[in-house]
């Protein structure tokens, strides 16, 4: 009934696009999880890593759900997120590898054969443990410079310190790293 008691044809408003807060992550996973796992595995080349990355992709999807304008394009959007997550992981692995390469004269022995993988794993763990032993201020600079490959000025801005302090802490961190390494190396 209308305002004056007469019948009117009520035309419903079009359904608004799905709001970000209404995103059903479980339904999204059910609909796209297997496909995303397959795509991610192809991008990174390893099933175990792909499984971890898919979880990370859905976490990013949840955090960035406000960017989803149209559920019709969700597959394309998820693909872009997947590519970016895989690229980020690849860069992170390369950065870690670069740090190891810088210290390879300390890290890699002359072991050959099947023992090489185990030795590299153990030495990688030692590197991780040594980084954890650095003072928090040294660790911040070491990680941002060596692993994240940020410039000194960027690190200074992030940590709200001078560029000279960045270089000083980095020098101390490298020296501490070397000292700790010599303690655990035969």
The per-residue pLDDT for range 74-118, each reduced to its tens digit, is 877 887 788 788 878 877 776 656 665 566 555 555 555 556 677
* Final residue of a structural domain among 96, 117, 132: 96
pLDDT at 168: 97
Whether residue 13 is contained in a domain is answered as no
Chosen domain end from 76, 96, 116:
96
What is the 8-class DSSP label of residue 13? P
Interacting residues of 143 by C-beta distance below 8 A, sequence separation 6+:
131
Task: Name the phi and psi angles at 160, rounded to 5.
Answer: 60, 50
Domain assignment present for residue 7? The answer is no
Give a yes or no: residue 88 inside a domain: yes
* Domain co-membership, 32 together with 65: yes
Total structural domains within the chain: 2
Q: 88 with 67: CB under 8 angstroms?
A: no
pLDDT at 136: 81
pTM of the model: 0.44
Lowest mean pLDDT among 36-45, 54-63, 161-170: 36-45
The pLDDT of residue 89 is: 83
Within-domain flag for 128: yes
Rg (CA), the chain: 25
> Mean pLDDT across the stretch 47-52?
90
Looking at the fold, whether 108 and 178 belong to one and the same domain comes out as yes
Q: Is the pLDDT of residue 18 over 50?
A: no
């Amino acid at each position: 009934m209308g305002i004056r008691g007469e019948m009117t044809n009520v035309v419903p408003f079009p359904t608004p696009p799905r709001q970000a807060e209404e995103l059903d992550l479980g339904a999204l996973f059910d609909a796209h999880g297997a496909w995303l796992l397959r795509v991610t595995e192809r991008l990174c080349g390893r099933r175990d890593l792909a499984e971890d990355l898919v979880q990370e992709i859905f976490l990013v999807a949840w955090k960035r759900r406000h960017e989803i304008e149209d559920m019709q394009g969700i597959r394309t959007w998820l693909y872009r997120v997947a590519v970016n997550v895989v690229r980020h992981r690849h860069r992170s692995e390369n950065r870690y590898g670069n740090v190891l390469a810088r210290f390879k004269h300390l890290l890699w022995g002359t072991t050959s054969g099947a023992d090489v993988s185990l030795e590299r794993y153990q030495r990688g763990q030692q590197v991780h443990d040594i980084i954890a032993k650095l003072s928090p201020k040294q660790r911040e600079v070491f990680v941002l410079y060596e692993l994240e490959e940020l410039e000194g000025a960027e690190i200074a801005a992030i940590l709200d310190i001078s560029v000279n302090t960045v270089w000083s802490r980095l020098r101390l961190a490298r020296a501490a790293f070397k000292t700790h390494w010599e303690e655990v190396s035969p």
